[in-house]
Amino acid sequence: MRIGFIGVGKMASAIITGLKTTEHELIISGSSLARSQEIAKQLHVDFAQSHEDLIEQADLVILGIKPQLFETVLAPLTFKQPVLSMAAGISLKCLAQLTNPDLPLIRLMPNINAQQLASSTAICANDKVPSDLLDVTKEICNSFGATFEIAEKDFDTFTALAGSSPAYIALFIEALAKAGVKNGFPKSLALNIVAQTVQATAQTILSGPDSPHDLIDKICSPGGTTIAGLMELERLGMTHATSSAIDKTIEKAKTL
């Protein structure tokens, strides 16, 4: 399959890096021909002379343009193939109005970890998408991470849990590292210790039988250091604050 990208920012570039491990042919069209040539050289892929030229060549088009540019960029174009969009806030209904309501349309929601080919990506599709195209979409998303097929009504929740949460997790890592500095560690050492521990803990939960609650129980010994710290986190409202942050993120997403 020949997959075309209209708009080639950081996220699209990360996806292309993942897709280069597959057998699909890739072609891009950026904001200008000069920009297309420049990015194509960097990514070692083909480029189209224009967006219209790309549509003529591609079997599948992935839109990597910013949401605020959708109307301007898409209005002159006539699509004839399935379209995938990874723009936040652009619903399938809106995408149909801007492209073609008779086409198979799919929304993607990757996160920043696509840059490490470790994205958590949500997908949903309109009723024109056949099962084989959905399988291809999952293959595309799996090339740069893990894929979750969810209902479109849940995209805002996914945005909070996967799209925004890397920032919250980074804040937690930063806070732990600062605590290490407070107690005598150099910042770089504290950060390495914490980041490695967070990564390994997540992997333990993903690969093992233990839930987070089970893991907490295993680490906490009666009257020990860990339970003392956990009780302090709960006293200060960590669980409530985290849940409230997710609620606020979802609330904001619904207004975009």
173 is in an annotated binding site: no
**Is 11 annotated as a binding-site member?**
yes
Name residues of the chain where pLDDT drops below 50. none
Determine whether the annotation assigns residue 106 to a binding site: no
So what's the pLDDT on residue 151?
97
Which of 223, 114, 204, 227 minimizes the C-alpha distance to 166? 114
Q: What pLDDT sits at residue 255?
A: 83
All residues at 6 or more sequence positions from 229 whose CB lies less than 8 Å from its CB, including other chains: none
What confidence tens digit (pLDDT) does each residue in 34-55 have?
A: 999 999 999 999 999 999 999 9
Determine the pLDDT at residue 254.
84
Q: For helices 238-253 and 165-182, what crossing angle results, to 10°?
A: 150
Find tokens 């129980």 and name the residue: 217
The amino acid at 227:
I
pLDDT for res 186? 98
Residue ranges of domains in the chain, CATH in brackets: 2-150 (3.40.50.720), 158-254 (1.10.3730.10)
Cα–Cα distance measured from residue 72 to residue 234, given in angstroms and rounded to the nearest whole number: 49
Interatomic CA distance for residues 250 and 256, integer angstroms:
10
pLDDT at 253: 86
Q: Is residue 30 marked as binding?
A: no
Q: What pLDDT, on the 0 to 100 scale, is given for residue 30?
A: 95
Quote the pLDDT of residue 43.
94
